[in-house]
Amino acid sequence: QVQLVESGGGLVQPGGSLRLSCAASGSILSISSMAWFRQAPGKQRELVASITSSTNYADSVKGRFTISRDNAKNTVYLQMNSLKPEDTAVYYCNAGGATSSSPPKWFDSWGQGTQVTVSS
């Protein structure tokens, strides 16, 4: 009932920047948290950044990545600067909140993922 659509991935050289977007749509009453995860080949999915009333970052991206949110658009962004080859991964958006059904239900939804490749 709640769909997440990511965009903004691609190929970038080391030191470059990308901005990911994730828009939530569907039967949404409210969104409590939004987050970005990533999964590199052969590795487990890991949390990159999350945002509620505050933000939280993985140590590996602190100072380089910034997560932000537009509540009016139900959209979360991830600004990625000073990208490194080790940032190469599929990036997934996640959102949790309440649906607009009666009664409301908790949802925990994932996007389909967007590829980020950092290479010269």
Alpha helices of 1-120 — where are they, by DSSP H?
A: none
**Which residue in this structure is represented by tokens 């039967």?**
27
**Number of other CB atoms surrounding residue 29 within 10 Å:** 13
φ, ψ dihedrals at 72, nearest 5°? -65, -30
CB 110 within 8 A of CB 2: no
Distance CA 91, CA 5 (A): 12
Q: Dump pLDDT digits (tens) for 9-54.
A: 999 999 999 999 999 999 999 999 999 999 999 999 999 999 999 9
Q: What is the pLDDT of residues 80-93, one digit of tens each?
A: 999 999 999 999 99
CA distance 13 to 84: 8
